[in-house]
Amino acid sequence: MVSLVVFVLLMLFAFVGPWFWKYRFDQVLKKPVGANADWIRPSWEHPFGISKGYDVFAQVMRGTQYSIRIAIVVTVVSVGLGVVVGAIAGYFRGFTDAVLMRFTDLMLVIPYLAAVAALQRNVKGSTWLWLALFLAFFGWMGIARVIRGEFLSLREKEFVEAARSVGASAPRIIFRHILPNTLGPIIVNATLAVGGAVLAEAALSFLGLGVKPPDTSLGKIIEVGKSKATTYPNEFWWPVLMLCLISLTINFIGDGLRDAFDPKQNRVRA
């Protein structure tokens, strides 16, 4: 519950905060007379300081917003793909399972970040959505294998045999009877996907292959502030803190949701 409150506050900070903050993330500010050419220390006017003419507080809000957007898109698409592929492979087995799992194995041997970086380099402009889709395309294989294993076990259970005996169709058995019993692994893998997506986006943006100017992300802000991590730490450490908070809160929320909704967690032991 604490993590849920913190995550809601992060969402408000990222998506509502820019509407009320007096400076835009792309607004070039006039440098005060006698100030450092690249950096102005934090003040009441600029809580995180000014870097290269930009208000760092506004940039961190924008960066957190884009990192959360990317993480949500990656999670929804990658988990959706993984669940569908794993469910079909585990339920139908045989030739279908062999084809889908060999394709999954092939995708697993492709270097994840290198492949996304190569694709992202060919996209012009600040295309955060393309970056999210590329990350999702190379991020569904783990959950597909987990869901396949769950389906291979559950398809032999008595409640599935009972559904077959009354004429339930394969899609109904998959999505109505078996899938709810795999909710725990899905939630856990979804929360891991959020953390992985945030860190992958940060790594690519740090290398200059993620979100491109004029937009920004937490990884891009860290890349700009890395040279001043010891002399002017605010620009570097605030986005790092935001990355850690997003990853930790999502993982703790996932643990709570798994305990709340997983049928296996609610069984009364004799």
Residues 120 and 203: their CA atoms lie apart, in Å, by 13
Q: What is the mean pLDDT of the chain?
A: 81
* pLDDT tens-digit readout, 235-248: 778 888 888 888 88
In a 3-state reduction of DSSP, which class is residue 50? strand
Q: Which CATH number fits domain 69-263: 1.10.3720.10, 3.10.20.30, 1.10.540.10, 3.30.70.1060?
A: 1.10.3720.10
The CB-side HSE value for 110 (13 A sphere, CA atoms) comes to 20
**Structural domain spans, the chain:** 69-263
Please state the rounded mean pLDDT for residues 148-175.
Answer: 86
* Residue 35 confidence (pLDDT): 53
Quote the radius of gyration of the chain (alpha carbons, Å): 22
* Residue 268 confidence (pLDDT): 47
* pLDDT tens-digit readout, 138-160: 888 989 999 998 898 888 888 88
* Residue 247 confidence (pLDDT): 85
